[in-house]
Structure 1
Amino acid sequence: MADTDSLKDIEHYAQALKAPRIRESAARLAEQARSDGWSHEDYLAAVLSREVTARESSGSQTRIRSAGFPTRKSLEEFNFDYQPSLSRETVAHLGTGVFLTQARNVVLLGPPGTGKTHLAIGLGIKAAQSGHRVAFATAVDWVGKLKAAHSAGKLPAELVKLRRIGLIIVDEVGYIPFEQDAANLFFQLVSSRYEHASLILTSNLPFGRWGDVFGDQVVAAAMIDRIVHHAEVLTLKGSSYRLKDTGIDTLPSVRADNAAQ
Structure 2
Amino acid sequence: MSTATSSALPEDLDRVLRRMRLRYLRKAAPEVLATARAQRSDPAEVLRVLLDEEASGRNAATRRMRRKKAQLPNGKTLSSWRPDESSISEATQNALITLEWLQRHENLVLSGPSGTGKSHFAEALANLAIEKDMRVAWHTLETLTATIMKSKVDGSIARTVARICGNDLIVVDDIGLLPVAAESAEALYRVADATYERRSIALTSNIHPSGFDTIMPKTTATATVDRLLHHAHLVATKGDSHRLAEALAGKGVIPLTDDTNE
Fold shared by both chains (TM-score > 0.5):
yes
Change (3 A) 1:6 1:148: closer
- CA deviations 1:197-256 (Å, max 9, x no partner) are 11111001012311112221x4323222211222222221111100113449xxxxxxxx
TM-score computed with the length of structure 2 as normaliser: 0.84
* Maintained 8 Å contact 2:141/2:184: no
Hey, what's the Cα distance between the residues in 2 that align with 1:242 and 1:6?
54
Counterpart for residue 242 of structure 1: 243
Hey, what's the Cα distance between the residues in 2 that align with 1:31 and 1:89?
49
Counterpart for residue 188 of structure 2: 186
Counterpart for residue 141 of structure 1: 143
Question: How many correspondences in the alignment?
Answer: 243
TM-score computed with the length of structure 1 as normaliser: 0.85
Q: Matched residue of 1:77: which SS? A: coil
Change (3 A) 1:210 1:5: closer
1:95 aligned residue (91, 94, 97): 97
Counterpart for residue 177 of structure 2: 175
- 1:92 positional shift: 3.9
1:115-134 equivalent positions in 2, closer than 5 A = 115-134=117-136
* Maintained 8 Å contact 1:96/1:126: no
Once superposed, what is the RMSD of the aligned Cα atoms? 2.2
- CA deviations 1:120-141 (Å, max 9, x no partner) are 1111111222222221121122
- 1:31 positional shift: 2.2
Q: When you count helix as a share of all residues, which structure comes out higher?
A: 1
Q: Matched residue of 1:29: which SS? A: helix
Stretches (4+) displaced over 6 A: none
Unmatched 5+ stretches in structure 2: 1-6, 250-262
- 1:194 positional shift: 0.7
Q: Matched residue of 1:244: which SS? A: helix
Q: Matched residue of 1:106: which SS? A: strand
Counterpart for residue 77 of structure 2: 74
Q: Matched residue of 2:151: which SS? A: helix
- 1:142 positional shift: 0.9
Task: Please state if 1:51 is matched with 2:65.
Answer: no
Counterpart for residue 30 of structure 1: 33
Hey, what's the Cα distance between the residues in 1 that align with 2:113 and 2:160?
32
Counterpart for residue 63 of structure 2: 60
AA paired with 1:168? I
Change (3 A) 1:6 1:74: closer
Counterpart for residue 162 of structure 1: 164
Change (3 A) 1:137 1:209: same
Q: Which range moved further: 89-98 or 218-227?
A: 89-98
Q: Matched residue of 2:25: which SS? A: helix
Change (3 A) 1:77 1:152: same
- 1:105 positional shift: 1.3
